[in-house]
Amino acid sequence: AAQLPPLDLELALAPAAGNLQLDGKISAQGDQLIAASGTVPLLLSARPLTVAVPQAGRLDLHLAGEGKLEKLAQILPMGEDRITGGYRVALGVGGTPARPDIGGKISIADASYLNQDYGTELRGLALELTGNQSRLQLTRLAARDSGSGTLEGSGDLDLAGAAPRLDFQARLANFLIANSDEAKAPVDADIRLSGTLDAPKFYGRLTLRRSDFRIPDRLPPSIASLNVVEIDSRDPARTAEALAAAARRRPAGPGLLVALDVEMNIPGQAFVRGHGLDSEWRGKVVVTGTSNAPSIGGGLNIVRGSLNLLGKDFVIRRGTIRFPTGSFDEPWVDLMAEYTANGITAQAALTGSFAAPELALTSTPQLPQDQILSRVLFGTDAGHLTASQGLQLAFAARAMASGGPGMLDRLRSTLGLDRLDIGSGGDIGTANGASATTPTVSGGKYVAPGVFVGAEQGTSLQSSRAKVEVDLLPHLTGYSTMGVDGSNRVGLDWRLDY
């Protein structure tokens, strides 16, 4: 790769009496990274040319190195990720290739790692690999995230036998696996990597805690990558040669395939927001297959939410997120939200991929789209609008087509609330004896899993109300409200998507 610094390799090899004596070191920009010395069993034959490693031969190999991970990271394919800290290698290998005798230690102390794409961060990273005869044991693995999350691990690599075996485990508690503008996702997890070294298996059971996911305000453009083969069609021989060269240049698949068995449980309080959507989800995502060809199953279902269109909050009645292609890169959303006012029930359906969802507006009774917009916005037919209202109607239609987060969504994020809504409260009398509704502002937070506490405020002091919602069963929610005027309300809300 062009970004790699020059590497200095010094290696002296001296074959003699069935052994190969070696002495070498690797350096980068004047800093020694690691050194190796000793003897390994090796049989060389010139006629015919053969190289063999006797399984009963004697090993006497020593690895040593000490320095900064920043230097070592220069030769690793880390991209824009960052790693700091100190490392030390003091490892000796004796015995035979069939049954090595490993002693010494590999350690990393006071290290840190930052993934630029997801914001995943490891602080205070400490790692120790200790040699124990034929095993290389992970005696310590500990780290924390940028908050209160922790990571601990252990395990070993058994080098005895024809197929070395590994068994490593790790546990995450309230650990932020993503911490960026697009996602904040803490998890509790038990993960395990086991099996043989050439055919490992990855097992994971993860539970997502309260998390926030944001649909970006502006999605990045997608640019197709084309594989171009330049062929001179005037010369068949050159054409065949070019095709053969292109086949040789095709990237090979990964040499190591890891079998996957991963389940991500989302019990609730997984909030997806952006482009006018404010929603909470629950469900389960299952990942099987291999690291080369993972298959995504399961999905998420809506708990509650709203879709802000035309300055109105449509209540989401149905919602699912699925992965029909089996790929994380192509989630599919299906939402249906309703808004009832002025003699009609308007339905907004959002379907398609996250990158390019489609929005359709219908109503009951069925009306043309301009009439639906006019009824929702102004409570009257489009033919009765004033000139200024006509301009507002055109602006609303354009806003509905383009999407984007509103001021309310940005305010909710600033205040640190889980929900913030502007709606309508009770009826009030007007001068001509008709009734109208007063605007209200409501908001609140989850104080425990499935327990929501909030408040609602209207235009008068007497319209203040406190409310509590508790998820009793998967489809059953109990609620209670209490107003400053002494009015109380208790009830149950039962919903079932079918």
pLDDT value at residue 387: 61
pLDDT above 70 (res 454): yes
Between 65 and 222, name the one with better pLDDT.
Answer: 65
Note whether 435 and 424 are within 8 A (CB): no
Name the 3-class secondary structure at 402. Answer: helix
The helix or strand, by DSSP H or E, that contains position 236, with its residue range, turns out to be: helix 236-249
Between 188 and 449, name the one with better pLDDT.
Answer: 188
Give the model confidence (pLDDT) of 75-132 as tens digits. 776 677 888 999 999 999 988 888 888 899 999 999 999 988 888 999 999 999 999 8
pLDDT value at residue 437: 44
Task: Specify the pTM.
Answer: 0.66
pLDDT value at residue 219: 46
Q: Percent of the chain, pLDDT > 90?
A: 25
User: Per-residue confidence at 287, pLDDT binned at 50, 70, 90?
Assistant: very high
pLDDT value at residue 194: 94
CB atoms within 10 A of CB 342: 14
H-assigned helices in 305-429: 369-378, 387-402, 407-415
Q: Percent of the chain, pLDDT > 70?
A: 76
Strands (E), 237-382: 259-274, 277-289, 294-309, 312-322, 332-341, 344-353, 358-364
Q: Report the DSSP beta bridge partners of residue 172.
A: 151, 189
| HSE toward the beta carbon, residue 408, CA cutoff 13 A | 22
Between 278 and 428, name the one with better pLDDT.
Answer: 278
- Pick the range with the lowest mean pLDDT from 26-35, 52-61, 64-73, 389-398: 389-398
Note whether 217 and 161 are within 8 A (CB): no
User: Per-residue confidence at 391, pLDDT binned at 50, 70, 90?
Assistant: low
Range among 260-269, 331-340, 426-435 rated most confident: 260-269
- Pick the range with the lowest mean pLDDT from 44-48, 188-192, 259-263, 270-274: 44-48
Supply the angle between the helices 387-402 and 369-378 in degrees, to the nearest 10: 110
Q: Verify cis geometry, omega within 30 degrees of 0, for the bond prior to 294.
A: no
Read off the pLDDT of each residue in 359-382 and give the average, rounded to a whole number: 75
pLDDT value at residue 33: 86
317 vs 253: CA distance, rounded Å:
44
Three-state SS sequence of 134-188: CEEEEEEEEEECCCCCEEEEEEEEECCCCCCEEEEEEEEEEEEEEECCCEEEEEE
CB atoms within 10 A of CB 196: 14
452 vs 72: CA distance, rounded Å:
49
- Pick the range with the lowest mean pLDDT from 137-151, 174-188, 420-434, 451-465: 420-434
User: Per-residue confidence at 469, pLDDT binned at 50, 70, 90?
Assistant: confident
**Vertex 24: Cα angle to 20 and 25 (nearest 5):** 155
pLDDT value at residue 217: 56
Q: What's the mean pLDDT when you consider all of the chain?
A: 79
**Length of the chain (residues):** 498
What tokens were used for 49? 């040319």
Give the model confidence (pLDDT) of 127-157 as tens digits. 999 998 888 899 999 999 988 999 999 999 9
| HSE toward the beta carbon, residue 304, CA cutoff 13 A | 16
pLDDT above 80 (res 300): yes
CB atoms within 10 A of CB 300: 22
Characterise 238 by phi-psi region: left (phi > 0), alpha (psi -120 to 50), beta (else). Answer: alpha
Read off the amino acid at residue 425.
G
CB atoms within 10 A of CB 18: 14
pLDDT value at residue 88: 93
Read off the amino acid at residue 11.
L
Burial environment of residue 218 by CB neighbours within 10 A (0 to 12, 13 to 18, 19 or more): exposed
pLDDT above 90 (res 409): no
Read off the pLDDT of each residue in 466-477 and give the average, rounded to a whole number: 82
